Amino acid sequence: MTKYRKKPVVIDAFRWTGGPDQTEDPEWIVEAMKNGCVGIDRDGESFWIKTLEGRMTAFSGDYIIRGIKGEIYPCKPEIFEATYENTAQPRVADRLVKEAIRVIGYLGLWDDHEFDELRELIEKYEEE
């Protein structure tokens, strides 16, 4: 059997609390509510979403995701946390690479030209 790796994509998401403590209502979910694509069930305990696969339900604590094509769907916290990471926080690998580069530069293991090229690449990467 062939194995596949998920491509790294950036999605929009928020955690639905189902209560007055909801602190995040992104514009895209408000717009979807106005369009009748999503809504809160009458009991106030669940959040319904029209998807290509049919109507799906999210419950308090679930994440609501807007995918790369604008599709909206729910995701259980354990799946979300195993699959996604916050883009506002640098990945551990990124921090380790930056620290390794700092140490190599400090030790003078690269000449100035190589170090400048690497610094330019890092700055370009950080802008993306």
Helix residue ranges per DSSP H, the chain: 27-34, 77-83, 92-107, 112-127
More confident residue, 89 or 39: 39
Please tell me the distance from the alpha carbon of residue 88 to that of residue 43, in angstroms, as a whole number. Answer: 35
Alpha carbon of 24 to those of 36, 49, 55, 69, 124: distances in Å? 19, 17, 23, 21, 31
SS3 94: helix
What are the pLDDT digits (tens) for 69-88? 999 999 999 999 999 888 77
Please tell me the distance from the alpha carbon of residue 115 to that of residue 100, in angstroms, as a whole number. Answer: 12
More confident residue, 65 or 102: 65
